[in-house]
């Protein structure tokens, strides 16, 4: 497990976090290369089905980040994203998914260092949690019973 | 099947030093749908751009991924380049290999691997891009200016002088606003009326300006370039086309005891009135709330009898007119807190505790005392006067945390004016801090203190009460180690906080613009967009945005006017077409939208409306959502919210973003497009 390099996907808004990540670049702040950024107009656009899709297809961790409250380029998209996240998180908690794999954060266009820090922290955390295999195990087992899944998890 | 071209830029050593660009190009060539892949030292250079253009023609490319710097840097460059080679600019995407990869990671296989994946993600995206055209909307080159104070006047004149039509509406019977009430202005002490009234006349006579006084906005529909304003013209009860403004009706009106708004309640006026002598238009209106003809069923009618022109028309009715405008300048001004807001200063019970605006009227040559400083209670000249700055302002306990900005300056001015008129009198000012930022402002305050001998006391006043005909002002001098101060004053002037106008919340809602916690209208960006609002096409000017002095109001008004003139400089507006839309299909479904209209409630731009789908007999089949492309700004909140997935957005469509995610981890499950 020591060689495990997690794959992290980041869903970010165009106006704050994407620009914040650009700033990390222009400031030459080094961070872990495990993250892949996907650009959205606004966190309000982020369909949380995308998070499930990412987990289903092989992501080990996810970052969702946009403008700070009150700074949304579109006035309120980040608030909708936040509400959606609260509901989504409680759903994940309910089904027993470790929500520690998902980082929800605000990074402004001026926070290049914060972006690097969030990426590094997330990578460290996911490295400790190990690869996300619950979904692939389910696939292996077909529609497995919960015992089979648990056995696979502890195997 | 797509034919995508991938162009990997070394950016000199910036990318090439960390990422193995050759390898990235080789890997990209193997991605499904990639027809051509190449790396080059500087893609943004002329030879680099020509390379892209030639490849588009030679390899019949249907889409382009340029893997270089941030799209925030060079997306326009490459989109222009591909369109010159004959493909739609929106079929070009950029993978960010510099800011998001080479600059933030070390030279390592994992960095090259990341670069390859970033390219793969964008290849899958661009395969699903659609050719788009910028949205064009026509512009109605008429501006609506709300409010006829100095900000509105300046904006209207600037827009009119740049050759565009202006509709100005003012709710009171005359334009002029608060500035017309002022006696003299800081820091020059020139007479407010003398500099303002020529501007007022210019507005009334300008061929490009249509002025509606005694009028209010009741609704605004539409979007930038294409608003429809509904304006209520209140019944003046006098036909202004016939009236020559002789004033005979005013002289004969028997209702004379109405508190005069223009004199801040210090004087009285008649029921048929002109607010002040230099009013524009200088023709009276009848105040129906106070005129006995209206309150007592046709009694009186004296004004109609004395009017030689027959201009009085009691049967006039409020009228609502609709005007098409392309832009709106909101310049509705501000108000100030009354003395009744202050329990510690007597709740407004003491007649000689007045507001700064009332002092302006006392000091004004056209005011109720003709410019002599006299106490409202008994008309005596006050020998000892106290000014209290920050009355309400900067006081979280009173709910007004902000600084009203103008009070320090006008309090210094008031103290000076008093000393110039009552030479032997004593003037004291209680202040928290003196905020005199502005050209010649600090010098002005120093003049009040040093030349006019105004006694500035740093400290607050805890209480004012009446004793033996004097107002006892109990305060503290914090520069003397909180030494208590007690002054027996004849008159006290409170520099009360500047506040948002009553009804500004409702106005903001009908304009669809934001407002802050104090009901001042919110600018689009506190620093870089101080005159725009979040609603495109609506600008702000003056104190409706926050308390401001005259130079600031005028500057902002000119700024707003330039924004309007720039908008009107084109016949059509072009906008980015990355907007959302609700799907439509043939019968019997018409749209997968089920009509829950949750999207309507989340749209910050009110761009989503209900559309009725009817059969050929006009019977309603279903009601579905429809997005107005003129209003949508493309945030996509509705797209993510829509439970039936009936809304999609150009540029960030479901198929695009899901393909991006799947490209990263499991491209085998992606269908080939």
Parallel, antiparallel, or unpaired for β B319-325 and B226-233? antiparallel
* Domain contains A2: no
Whether A111 maps to a domain, the answer reads yes
Which of B65, B67, B605, B636 to probe the A interface (max A CBs under 10 A)? B636
Q: Do A53 and B108 touch (CB under 8 A)?
A: no
- Residue-range domains of chain B with CATH: 4-127 (3.40.50), 142-234+318-333+503-568 (3.50.50.60), 248-306 (no CATH), 337-499 (3.50.50.60), 580-649 (3.30.70.20)
Q: Give the span between the Cα atoms of A12 and A14, in whole angstroms.
A: 7
Q: Which of B373, B386, B437, B367 is nearest to B409 (CA)?
A: B437
Question: Under a CB-based contact definition with an 8 Å cutoff, are residues B239 and B311 in contact?
Answer: yes
How close B662 comes to chain A (CA, Å)?
7
Q: How far is A129 from chain B (nearest CA, A)?
A: 19
Residue B275 contacts by C-beta under 8 Å, 6 or more apart in sequence? Answer: B172, B173, B174, B261, B262, B269
Q: Is the pLDDT of residue B431 over 90?
A: yes
Indicate whether B312 pLDDT > 50.
yes
Which pLDDT tens digit goes with each residue over B364-386?
Answer: 999 999 999 999 999 999 999 99
Nearest-Cα distance to chain B for A94, in Å, is 21
Q: Hey, is A76 helix, strand or coil?
A: coil
Q: B111 and B551 in contact (C-beta within 8 Å)?
A: no
Q: Residue B392 gets which letter from DSSP?
A: S
CB contact under 8 A, B636 and A73: no
- Nearest-CA distance A5 → chain B (Å): 10
Find the length of chain A: 155
pLDDT digits (tens, 9 = 90+) for A26-63: 999 999 999 999 999 999 999 999 999 999 888 999 99
Structural domains counted in chain A: 1
Cα dihedral: B117, B119, B123, B124 (round 10): 20
Q: Which residues contact B31 (CB under 8 A, 6 or more apart)?
A: B4, B6, B119, B120, B123
Q: B96 contacts in A (CB within 8 Å)?
A: 22, 37
Is the pLDDT reported for residue B515 higher than 90?
no
From A31, A40, A84, residue closest to B104, measured CB to CB: A31
In a domain, A106, yes or no: yes
Contact B400, B393 (CB under 8 A): yes
pLDDT digits (tens, 9 = 90+) for B32-57: 999 999 999 999 999 999 999 999 99
Q: Does the pLDDT value for residue B103 go beyond 60?
A: yes
pLDDT of residue B1: 83
All residue ranges of chain A with pLDDT < 50 are: 1
Q: Which of A3, A57, A88, A108 should one mutate to test binding to chain B, selecting the residue with the greatest count of B CBs within 10 A?
A: A57
DSSP symbol at B522: P
Structure tokens at B554: 């005028």
Tokens representing A70 are: 């009150």
Nearest residue on chain B to A13, judged by CA atoms? Answer: B635
Asked if residue A97 is part of any domain, the answer here is yes
Q: Is the peptide bond before B281 cis (omega within 30 degrees of 0)?
A: yes
Burial zone of B610 (CB within 10 Å; 0-12 exposed, 13-18 middle, 19+ buried) = exposed
Print the domain residue range for A27.
8-154
Question: Is the CB of B602 less than 8 angstroms away from the CB of A80?
Answer: yes
Give B 523-562 residues with CB within 8 A of chain A.
534
**B101 in contact with A, Cβ within 8 Å:** yes
B187 cis-preceded (ω within 30 degrees of 0)? yes
Chain B hits for A19, Cβ within 8 Å:
72
Tell me how far apart the alpha carbons of residues B578 and B134 are, in angstroms, rounded to a whole number. Answer: 9
Chain B environment of A53 (Cβ under 8 Å): 658, 661-662
**CA–CA separation, B121 and B109 (whole Å):** 18
Does B117 lie at the interface with A, CB-CB under 8 angstroms?
yes
ipTM field: 0.90
By C-alpha distance, the chain A residue nearest B641 is: A47
Please state, in angstroms and rounded to a whole number, the distance separating the CA atoms of residues B166 and B143. 5
SS (H, E, C) B411-463: HHHHHHHHHHHCCCCEEEEEECCCCCCCCCHHHHHHHHHHCCCCEEEECCEEE
Q: What is the pLDDT of residue B509?
A: 83
CA atoms within 13 A on the CB side of B54: 8
pTM beyond cutoff 0.95: no
Give pLDDT tens digits for B398-413: 999 999 999 999 999 9
Q: So what's the pLDDT on residue A144? A: 53
- Write phi, then psi, for B526 (nearest 5 degrees): -60, -25
- Give the mutation candidate from A22, A37, A46, A63 for the B interface (greatest B CB count, under 10 A): A22
Interval B421-434 mean pLDDT: 96
Is residue A113 domain-resident? Answer: yes
Q: Which residues of A touch B (CB under 8 A)?
A: 5, 7, 9, 18-19, 21-22, 24-26, 28-34, 36-42, 44-48, 50, 53-54, 57-59, 73-77, 80, 84, 116
pLDDT tens profile B596-637? 999 999 998 889 999 999 988 999 999 999 999 888 989 999
Model confidence at B668: pLDDT above 60: no
A90 inside domain:
yes
Provide, as residue numbers in chain A, all residues whose Cβ is less than 8 Å from the Cβ of B666. 57-58
Among B171, B178, B206, which residue's Cα sits nearest to residue B192?
Answer: B178
> Chain B 7-36, CB below 8 Å of chain A: which residues?
none
Q: Which residues of B touch A13 (CB under 8 A)?
A: none
Does residue B107 belong to the interface with chain A, where contact is any CB pair within 8 Å?
A: no
Q: Average pLDDT of chain B?
A: 94
Q: Who wins on pLDDT, B673 or B168?
A: B168
A13, A7 in Cβ contact below 8 A?
no
In this structure, what are the phi and psi dihedrals at residue B13, rounded to the nearest 5 degrees? -95, -10
CA distance A153 to chain B (A): 21
Interface contact B636-A38, CB threshold 8 A: no
CA distances from B650 to B33, B90, B132, B134, B670 (A): 21, 10, 8, 12, 20
As a dihedral over the C-alpha atoms of residue B123, residue B129, residue B133, residue B139, rounded to 10 degrees, the angle is -100
CB A149 within 8 A of CB A134: yes
Distance of alpha carbon B94 from the chain centroid: 35
B105 with A31: Cβ contact below 8 A? yes
Nearby residues of B85 by Cβ (< 8 Å), 6 or more positions away: B52, B53, B54, B56, B57
Instruction: Write down the pLDDT at residue A2.
Output: 59
Cα of B302 vs its chain's centroid, Å: 45
Residue A51: closest C-alpha in chain B: B661
Cα–Cα nearest to B331, from B528, B159, B496, B193: B159
pLDDT category at B222 given cuts 50, 70, 90 is: confident
- The pLDDT assigned to A1 comes to 47
Domain for residue A3, yes or no?
A: no
Q: What is the CATH number of the domain that holds A55?
A: 3.40.50
Q: How distant is the Cα of A155 from the closest Cα of chain B, in angstroms?
A: 24
């Amino acid at each position: 497990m020591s060689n495990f390099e997690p794959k992290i996907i980041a869903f970010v808004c165009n106006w704050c976090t994407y620009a914040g990540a650009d700033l990390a670049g222009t400031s030459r702040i080094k961070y872990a290369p495990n993250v892949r950024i996907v650009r959205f107009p606004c966190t309000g656009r982020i369909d949380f089905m995308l998070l499930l899709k990412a987990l289903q297809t092989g992501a080990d961790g996810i970052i969702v980040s946009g403008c700070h409250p009150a700074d949304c380029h579109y006035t309120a998209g980040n608030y909708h994203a936040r509400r959606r996240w609260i509901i989504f998180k409680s759903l994940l908690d309910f089904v027993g998914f470790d929500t520690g794999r998902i980082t929800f954060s605000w990074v402004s266009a001026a926070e290049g260092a914060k972006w690097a820090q969030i990426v590094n922290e997330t990578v460290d955390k996911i490295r400790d949690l190990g690869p996300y295999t619950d979904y692939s195990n389910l696939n292996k087992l077909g529609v497995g019973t919960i015992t089979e899944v648990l056995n696979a998890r502890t195997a | 099947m797509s034919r995508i071209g991938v162009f990997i830029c070394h950016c000199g050593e910036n990318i090439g030093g960390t990422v193995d660009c050759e390898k990235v190009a080789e890997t990209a060539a193997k991605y499904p749908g990639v027809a051509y892949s190449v790396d080059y030292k500087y893609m943004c250079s002329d030879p680099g751009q020509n390379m892209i253009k030639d490849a588009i023609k030679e390899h019949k490319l249907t889409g382009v991924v340029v893997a270089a710097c941030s799209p925030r840097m060079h997306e326009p460059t490459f989109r222009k380049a591909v369109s010159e080679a004959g493909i739609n600019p929106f079929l070009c995407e950029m993978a960010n290999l510099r800011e998001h990869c080479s600059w933030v990671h070390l030279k390592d296989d994992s960095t090259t691997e990341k670069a390859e994946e970033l390219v793969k993600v964008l290849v899958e995206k661009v395969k699903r891009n659609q050719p788009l055209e910028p949205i064009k909307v026509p512009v109605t080159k008429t501006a609506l200016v709300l409010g006829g104070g100095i900000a509105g006047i300046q904006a209207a004149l600037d827009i009119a002088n740049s050759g565009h039509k202006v509709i100005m509406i003012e709710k009171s019977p005359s334009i002029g606003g608060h500035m017309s009430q002022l006696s003299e202005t800081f820091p020059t002490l020139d007479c407010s009326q003398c500099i303002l009234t020529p501007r007022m006349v210019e507005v009334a006579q300008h061929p490009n300006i249509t002025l509606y006084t005694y009028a209010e906005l009741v609704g605004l529909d539409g979007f930038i370039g294409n608003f429809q304003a509904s304006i209520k013209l209140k019944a003046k009860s006098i036909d202004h086309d016939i009236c020559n403004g002789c004033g005979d009706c005013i002289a004969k009106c028997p209702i004379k005891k109405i508190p005069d708004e223009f004199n801040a309640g210090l004087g009285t006026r008649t029921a048929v009135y002109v607010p002040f002598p230099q009013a524009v238009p200088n023709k009276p209106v009848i105040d129906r709330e106070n005129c006995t003809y209206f309150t007592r069923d046709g009694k009186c009618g004296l004004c109609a009898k004395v009017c030689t022109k027959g201009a009085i028309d009691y049967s006039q009715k409020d009228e609502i007119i609709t005007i098409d405008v392309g832009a709106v300048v909101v310049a509705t001004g501000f108000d100030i807190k009354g003395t009744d807001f202050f329990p510690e200063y007597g709740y407004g019970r003491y007649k000689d505790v007045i507001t700064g605006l009332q002092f302006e009227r006392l000091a004004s040559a056209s005011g109720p005392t003709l410019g002599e400083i006299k106490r409202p209670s008994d008309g005596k000249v006050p020998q000892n006067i106290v000014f209290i700055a920050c009355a309400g302002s900067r006081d979280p306990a009173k709910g007004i945390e902000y600084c009203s900005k103008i009070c320090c300056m006008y309090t210094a001015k008031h103290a000076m004016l008093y000393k110039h008129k009552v030479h032997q009198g004593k003037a004291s000012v209680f202040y928290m801090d003196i905020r005199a930022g502005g050209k010649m402002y600090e010098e002005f305050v120093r003049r009040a203190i040093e030349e006019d001998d105004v006694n500035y006391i740093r400290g607050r006043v805890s209480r004012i009460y009446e004793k033996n005909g004097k107002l006892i002002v109990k305060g503290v001098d914090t520069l003397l180690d909180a030494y208590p101060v007690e002054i027996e004053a004849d008159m006290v002037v409170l520099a009360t906080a500047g506040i948002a106008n009553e009804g500004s919340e409702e106005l903001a809602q009908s304009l669809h613009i934001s407002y802050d916690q104090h009901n001042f209208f919110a600018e689009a960006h506190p620093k870089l967009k101080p005159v725009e609002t979040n609603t495109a096409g609506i600008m702000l000017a003056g104190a409706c945005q926050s308390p401001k002095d005259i130079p600031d109001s005028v500057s902002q008004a000119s700024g707003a006017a330039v924004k309007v003139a720039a908008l009107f400089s084109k016949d059509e507006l072009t906008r980015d077409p990355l907007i959302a839309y609700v799907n439509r299909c043939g019968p019997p479904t018409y749209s997968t939208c089920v009509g829950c209209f949750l999207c309507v409630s989340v749209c910050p731009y009110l761009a989503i409306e209900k559309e009725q789908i009817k059969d050929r007999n006009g019977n309603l089949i279903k009601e579905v959502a429809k997005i107005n492309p003129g209003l949508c700004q493309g945030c996509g909140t509705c797209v993510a919210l829509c439970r039936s997935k009936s809304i999609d957005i150009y540029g960030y469509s479901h198929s695009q973003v899901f393909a991006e995610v799947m490209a990263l981890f499991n491209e085998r499950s992606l269908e080939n497009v």
